[in-house]
Structure 1
Amino acid sequence: MARKNGGFCDFAPIPVNGATLASQLLAEDVTVVEVYDEETKTRSPKVKDGLTQYELQTLFLPFEGDERHTVAIVPVKIWSKTKPVVKTNAPVAFVGMKVTPWAMGNNTGLSYSADGFKQD
């Protein structure tokens, strides 16, 4: 989004309750988020303040009767010192979940992040 004085900025994250997004989010997999170094042509884990960013793949199950949404894989990014362990196909509840709208050229979307997660 262009600023009045030129340049671009990110949209602000919007806090959300995971229970308002879907009837259920099921944990599927965890992968490390990588950054690409154009100069060296290599990829490395995204690290900030001693924490690595991970992407928790979740299966999004819409509310019954919701005709606007379909079942989908929704990635949720979290920061952690070690790779999180998840119970596959088990419900997951996120702590401090946020949705950030983004725009890049003509493409737009939503990015999901959380401070942490819980599973029974």
Structure 2
Amino acid sequence: MARKNGGYADFSPIPVNGATLASQLLAEDVTVVETYDDETKTRSPKVKDGLTQYELQTLFLPFEGDERHTVAIVPVKVWSKTKPTIKTNAPVAFVNMKVTPWAMNGQSGLSYSADGFKQD
């Protein structure tokens, strides 16, 4: 059975603590998440309840001695009225961070989201 977000697996968001994922997540960039309209063949910002969805690109730095993970860019989605302002290459802490496993068309992965973020 298909889910309303287009996936075919029954996964729910899992609350996580950003400190358990990596030694640090560093903010790198912010971009707007877009939706594609098949009918008009156009892209527009993803908006819900007056909020726009943005994607914070973060640099994932694994814990020392972690042999399974490598440095990577990890996108984390947040909803906001205005484009979030970040301090580039500075640590970022996410509020109510969640990870959602997904599977669709023979592929699978993880999607990260949060209610907000903080930087010093």
Partner of 1:40: 40
- Aligned residue identity for 1:85: T
**Displacement of 1:11 after TM fit?**
1.2
Partner of 2:2: 8
**Displacement of 1:106 after TM fit?**
1.2
Provide the C-alpha distance between the structure 1 equivalents of 2:103 and 2:86, rounded to a whole number of angstroms: 31
TM-score when normalising by structure 1? 0.93
What is the Cα-based RMSD across aligned positions, in Å? 0.6
User: Gaps (5+ residues) in structure 1?
Assistant: 1-6
For the residue of structure 2 that corresponds to 1:35, the secondary structure is strand
Provide the C-alpha distance between the structure 2 equivalents of 1:25 and 1:67, rounded to a whole number of angstroms: 18
Provide the C-alpha distance between the structure 2 equivalents of 1:107 and 1:41, rounded to a whole number of angstroms: 25
TM-score when normalising by structure 2? 0.93
1:89-108 correspondence to structure 2 within 5 Å = 89-108=89-108
Provide the C-alpha distance between the structure 2 equivalents of 1:43 and 1:8, rounded to a whole number of angstroms: 24
Provide the C-alpha distance between the structure 2 equivalents of 1:43 and 1:30, rounded to a whole number of angstroms: 18
Moved over 6 A (4+): none
Partner of 1:3: none
